[in-house]
Amino acid sequence: MKTRFIIAAALMTAAVSAPAFAQRFPISINMMGVNMRADSSNGMCAIAIPEKVGEPRMLMFNLRPSDGNLVVGVLTPGDVFTGKDMNKDIPLTLTFDGKKKSTSKYGGYHQGYWQMVRGGWGVGKGSDETFALLKDAMAVTAKFDGMTFGPFNTQMKGFAYNWLKNCAARANGQTQ
């Protein structure tokens, strides 16, 4: 009986864990060759781009409509960053189409159900300029603490940028 309970608990954990990413990003975008996840709740606009179709690693752009603050993270399932210093400030560098670079003001590791490295550009010029680079990008690579992630194919030039821009406009009561 105890063995059945342990097996049942393990199966329930797997069943609950699998959709956790979908819960964070409840909007599934699958059209015209675009495969992304998005969220527009809690005063935030976020879009997540898979490293490869069907792969769990995602590059997340999180834009706060109230002030334009941009935070970008690489989300990875599992215990990839176990043992890393969660309090250390490490910037994240993004390279757009192998040419234009932007380095965050701050960054670090984050542990939870999803492991993440993230960087924030702060309110103002840094966020605005980095967000603008997304508009024409087809590929984004992230570098953090000696590791390289990507390239992440944006799949359609301007799609992620426009989705975030429109989400922010809606959140701010503007119509597009």
What is the predicted pLDDT for the residue at 41? 74
Percent of the residues in the chain that have a pLDDT greater than 70, as a whole number: 74
Q: List, for residues 108-147, the tens digit of each pLDDT value.
A: 998 877 789 999 999 999 999 999 999 999 999 999 999 9
CA 64, CA 24: separation in Å to the nearest integer?
A: 16
Specify the 3-state DSSP secondary structure of 134. helix
The stretch 141-155 carries a mean pLDDT of 93
Say if residue 106's pLDDT is above 90.
yes
Residues 6+ apart with CB under 8 A from 164: 45, 46, 47, 61, 63, 131, 134
More confident residue, 137 or 54: 137
Q: What is the phi-psi region of residue 122: left when phi exceeds 0, alpha when psi lies from -120 to 50, beta otherwise?
A: left
Closest CA to 65 of 51, 38, 44, 96: 44
Mean per-residue pLDDT of the chain = 79
Percent of the residues in the chain that have a pLDDT greater than 90, as a whole number: 43
What is the predicted pLDDT for the residue at 28? 56
User: Six-digit token pair at 170?
Assistant: 């809606």
Edge-to-edge strands, sheet with 70-77? 27-31, 34-39, 45-50, 58-63, 70-77, 114-120, 106-110
The stretch 91-106 carries a mean pLDDT of 97
The DSSP secondary-structure symbol of 100 reads E
Q: List, for residues 2-37, the tens digit of each pLDDT value.
A: 333 222 222 222 222 333 344 455 455 555 555 666
Show contacts of 155-161: CB within 8 Å, 24+ apart: 155/33, 155/34, 155/35, 155/36, 155/49, 156/32, 156/33, 156/34, 159/34, 159/36, 160/36, 160/47, 160/49, 160/61, 160/134, 161/131, 161/134, 161/135, 161/137
pTM (2 d.p.): 0.80
What is the predicted pLDDT for the residue at 111? 82
